[in-house]
Structure 1
Amino acid sequence: MTTVDDLLNLLVLDKVNDSAFNGVSKTVGSPIVFGGQVLAQALNAASRTIKNNRVLHSMHAYFLEAGDLECPITYNVSNVRDGGSFSVRRVTAHQNDTRIFILSASFHKQEDGYEHQIQMKKGVKQPEELLSWTDMRTEFSDALPKTLKSFLEIKRPVEFKPTAFANPLQPKNLPPTHEVWFKLKGDVKGLDLATKQQILTYISDYNILTATLNPHASKAHWGNTQTASLDHSMWYFRDFDFSDWLLYAMESPSTSGARGFARGNIFTREGVLVATVAQEGLIRPIKK
C-alpha cells in the first residue's frame, strides 16, 4: 500500500448482509494481522449499520487471538441500542471458527455544549525539521539493524516523522514518551468524517507501544521483545483535515507484568485536540 486509496480499499469491507461484512489483510511488516487494520475495519462495519447520521465518539476493543494474514476476516455487527441520543454497536471478528477480536462503539447525535481541551506541548519540532521513516531508511540503511531495516522497507500509505530518533547502536533509557507527526500519502479531498475516523484509528495503533519500551531501551528493543496490542480504546472529539500533518503525542504511565500501558493525544498542527487513545500491550522479554 502506498496511498490513501490503497488504504481505503483495505478498510472498506465487502457487505455480506445487513450485519455481516468481510475483509482481507495487508502486512505492515509483522507476520500477523496489524491491530490497527482490525480496529478500523470493525469500525467500518459498525458505522455502516448506523442510519441516523450519528457520529462515532468512542470505541473499546480487545484483541483475543493473533490474526492470520492469509485468511479473510468476517465482522458480525450486533445492534445493542438505538436510544434518543446514542447508538451502540458490538462487533465480533472471526477467522473460520476462531473469534479473534471484539469491539464496542458508541455513536452520538450532534449537539452543542461546553468546550475545553488540553494544550499541545510548546516547542515541538515541526515536521519540516525532521526525518521521516523513509528518510531514515535511505540515510542510515547500512547502519540499521536487520529487523528495523526490514520494517522500514515496507511501503505504507502514511508517512511518519518522530520528533526524536533513538540510536539503535547506542541504546540508552529514555523518558516514557514518544511524539510522532504523521500524514497520509495521496489525495485526501472529499473524505467524510466516518472515513477519517476509521483511518485515524488505523494509524493510532502505530508507535504507541514505543512509549512503554523507551524507559527500558538500554536493554529492550523490538528484536528481543514480544509485542502485541491487547486492548485499545479511543475517543473522538472534533472533525479534522488530513491535508496537513497531525501530531501523535504519547506517554506511558506504567509497565508491569510484561504489559505496558500507554495513552496518546492526537493534535492538528494548530493544536486542536482531535482524539485521545489508550492501549495496553504485551511487552514480553524473549528468553533465549
Structure 2
Amino acid sequence: MQYPLTNAAPTGRPDNGDADLVRFLALERLDRDLFSGMCHRGGTGRAFGGHLAAQALAAAGHTVDADRRVHSLHGYFLRPGELHQPMLYHVERLRDGRSYGARRVTAFQGGEAVFTLSASFKSPEDTADRQRPMPSVPAPEELPDPYPMWARTRPKDFAASVYRRVVSMRVVPRSDRPGPPAPSGVTEYVLWMRAVEPLPDDATLHGCALTYASDLAPGAVAAMAHEEPRMLRSAPDRVFTASLDHSMWFHRPFRADEWLLFVVRSPSESDGRGLATGKVWTREGELAASFAQEVVVRPLPPAS
C-alpha cells in the first residue's frame, strides 16, 4: 500500500475541520510494524467501527508488497474506542507465501486491545469468472441526496455533519427495487455510495475506503424491525446497537470513488444480536465485494 502514510504524529480528531477519506485513513509509522492514527466518533459517541477497521487494514497494507491486494478480512470489536487519544495498530506478519500473505492487527488504547483484525492479501490471477447479477435499480443521478432531509430532521446529528464530507449516498426506495419485497423476517436497505473526493490509484486504499463505507448500514438494517432508521449508523431512537464483528471478501477490482451499489439485508435477530449481510456491485455490474456483520440489538426502555 502506497497511501496514506505520514511521518508526523496525528493531531486532534479527524472530524474537526476539513476532512476526506485519505486524511481519515492517514497513519503515522512509529516502528516497522507499529502505526498510530486517530478515529472519529460514530453514532454511539465512541470511535466509529468502520474507521477503526479501515485504519487497521491500512496498517496491514503498509506491510505487504504493492502488487498484492486484500481479498478478505475478519475483525472483532472488543471495547469502545475513545476519541481523544491515538489508536495504536500493531501488525503481526503471519505469512508471506508465493501467492498469499496474512496479517493480524491489534488496535490498542490505554494498553488494552480495542479491536483485532485478520487480513489476507494475494497476487492477482487470471482464472474462470462467474457472479450473481446486479439488481436493476435507478442510477444514482436519478435519486435525491438524503443528507439535506436528514439535516432538517436532525440538524445536530453527526451523520449530516461528518459522513457527508467523505461519503456520498443515494438511497433506493422500496418502490424502485425490482422483484418482490424482502421475505418475511428479513429487513433490507439498498443504496449507492462513493467517496466524495477522488482517491489515489492504490487498490488497498480503495479496499480501506470500502471497509469504512461498509459499516455505515448494518446496524441500522439489523435494527430496522424495531423502527425505520432515519439515517445510516444512527440507531433508531428506541434501540441500542453496537458492532460485534465484521467480515469482508473482496472479489473484483473496483474504485471506491465511483458509485457502488450496496444491498444490505438482515435475515436474523435473536439473543440480543442481529445479523446483516451485504453485496456491493460496481456501476458496470461487477460484484466487487461481500460483507457480513453481527451487531448488538437491544430495545431501550421508554423515555420517562
**Range class of TM-score, shorter chain:** 0.7 to 0.9
Instruction: Determine the structure 2 residue equivalent to 1:70.
Output: 84
What is the aligned counterpart of 1:154 among 154, 157, 161? 161
Change (3 A) 1:18 1:235: same
Aligned 1:1-288 pairs, distance under 5 A: 6-51=20-65, 53-122=67-136, 124-137=137-150, 141=152, 144=153, 146=154, 150-156=157-163, 157-164=166-173, 176-188=187-199, 190-217=200-227, 222-288=236-302
What is the distance in 1 between the residues matched to 2:17 and 2:142?
23
**Structure 1 residue 83 displacement after superposition:** 1.9
> What is the CA deviation profile of residues 176-218 of structure 1, one whole-angstrom value per residue up to 9, with x for unaligned ones?
1111111221233x33111111111011000122222223337
Q: Which amino acid aligns with 2:294?
A: E
Change (3 A) 1:278 1:87: same
Q: TM-score when scaled to structure 2?
A: 0.83
> What is the CA deviation profile of residues 44-74 of structure 1, one whole-angstrom value per residue up to 9, with x for unaligned ones?
1101111363211000000000000112100
Q: How many residues are treated as equivalent by the alignment?
A: 274
- Is the deviation greater in 35-44 or in 23-32? 23-32
Query: Secondary structure of the residue that 2:264 maps to in structure 1?
Result: strand
Give the gaps of 5 or more residues in structure 2: 1-14, 175-183
Q: Which amino acid aligns with 2:90?
A: N
Change (3 A) 1:218 1:18: closer
What is the distance in 2 between the residues matched to 1:54 and 1:266?
21
Contact 2:229 2:236 in 1 (8 A): no
What is the distance in 1 between the residues matched to 2:229 and 2:47?
27
Change (3 A) 1:243 1:97: closer
Query: Secondary structure of the residue that 1:66 maps to in structure 2?
Result: coil
Change (3 A) 1:94 1:211: same
Change (3 A) 1:107 1:187: closer
Instruction: Determine the structure 2 residue equivalent to 1:170.
Output: none
Contact 2:21 2:195 in 1 (8 A): no
Q: Which amino acid aligns with 1:230?
A: L
Query: Secondary structure of the residue that 2:293 maps to in structure 1?
Result: strand
Q: Which amino acid aligns with 2:187?
A: P
> What is the CA deviation profile of residues 9-49 of structure 1, one whole-angstrom value per residue up to 9, with x for unaligned ones?
12121001111000112234441000000110001110111
What is the distance in 1 between the residues matched to 2:133 and 2:293?
21
Q: Which amino acid aligns with 1:137?
A: W
Contact 1:235 1:277 in 2 (8 A): yes
What is the distance in 2 between the residues matched to 1:219 and 1:181?
17
Change (3 A) 1:269 1:284: same
What is the distance in 1 between the residues matched to 2:141 and 2:205?
27
Contact 2:43 2:158 in 1 (8 A): yes
Change (3 A) 1:101 1:76: same
CA RMSD, Structure 1 to Structure 2 (Å):
2.6
Change (3 A) 1:219 1:187: closer
What is the distance in 2 between the residues matched to 1:231 and 1:243?
25
Change (3 A) 1:260 1:61: same
Contact 1:3 1:185 in 2 (8 A): no
> What is the CA deviation profile of residues 225-255 of structure 1, one whole-angstrom value per residue up to 9, with x for unaligned ones?
1111100000011111344311110111111
Contact 1:92 1:101 in 2 (8 A): yes
Q: Which runs of 4+ in 1 moved over 6 A?
A: 2-5
Change (3 A) 1:131 1:205: same
Report % sequence identity.
36
Give the gaps of 5 or more residues in structure 1: 166-172
